[in-house]
Amino acid sequence: MKKFLGFILTPLFLLVWGLLLNVFHLAQVIALKGFGADAHRRCVDWLNFSLIHALWILGTRIGVRFTQALPAGRPIIFVANHQNKLDIPGISWYLRRYSPKFVSKIELGKGIPSISYNLRHSGAALIDRADVRQSLKEIGRLGQLIEATRSSAVIFPEGTRSTSGEMKAFATGGIKVLLKKTPSALVVPVYIHDTWKLNRYGRFPMPVGERISWTVLAAIEPEGKTPDEVAALAEQSIRCEYAARTH
């Protein structure tokens, strides 16, 4: 039944998504050029709200849970597993008060309405995964940026999305660079649950009535720990939540 209803509702969802991306692209340009960075950031917040809640068209139920309050005015490195392109607007909206900036593949920096424009103008690290030196330099620049602005970075150490929900091995080099360049940062693991199911049948159709969620886990204080230890603790925290939610 979920698949059958998906054939009916997915075209409507994709139409709405396309309209949102194009309308907000124009809105971003006007906001940034006419009113500055703060107006642009607020515009992007509403873009992400609209993109994630467009899932209501498919009857998707969305859950968000914070296991503790996070401090304001301190840089934060969010470390998350990755299952779906919708992970990004979800994190962007629910963690908007921390002004998250993403480590993203360079290909996303052009050709996608709204998304590419925001990545290029938000300070995101656009990395060429075939060029390790460029990637580490970009991640280091992002670390320096969030240290200076007391904002946050988001990194997906699996590198690519898991299409089955099963977690992949973490590559921790990016986390360690961020820690080096952001000495006052707090590290916060985020577990993303079941967003992969939105593409369980491939790109089309999308299923109806799925339940997805984001859980912001206990923060890790890097002081007194090596970068390797911090990265390992972040991965362990996410894997423990994964095991608890899937078994």
- What is the per-residue pLDDT across 199-218, written as a single tens digit (0 to 9) for each? 999 889 999 999 999 999 99
What percentage of the chain exceeds 70 in pLDDT? Answer: 100
40-80 confidence digits (pLDDT tens): 999 999 999 999 999 999 999 999 999 999 998 899 999 99
Distance CA 236, CA 185 (A): 19
Question: Chain-wide mean pLDDT for the chain?
Answer: 95
The answer to whether 81 and 161 have CB atoms below 8 angstroms apart is no
pLDDT at 19: 98
The string of pLDDT tens digits covering residues 105-164 is 999 999 999 999 999 999 999 999 899 999 999 999 999 999 999 999 999 999 888 888
- The model's pLDDT over 164-208, given as tens digits with 9 standing for 90+, comes to 888 998 999 999 999 999 999 999 999 999 999 999 998 899 999
Q: What kind of fold does domain 2-246 have according to CATH?
A: Glycerol-3-phosphate (1)-acyltransferase (3.40.1130)
If DSSP codes are grouped into helix, strand and coil, which group holds residue 156? coil
pLDDT confidence of residue 202: 87
- pTM, entire model: 0.95
Judging by beta carbons within 10 Å of its beta carbon (0-12, 13-18, 19+), is residue 246 exposed, middle or buried?
exposed
Q: Angle of helix 115-122 relative to helix 37-53, nearest 10 degrees?
A: 140
- Spans of all domains in the chain: 2-246
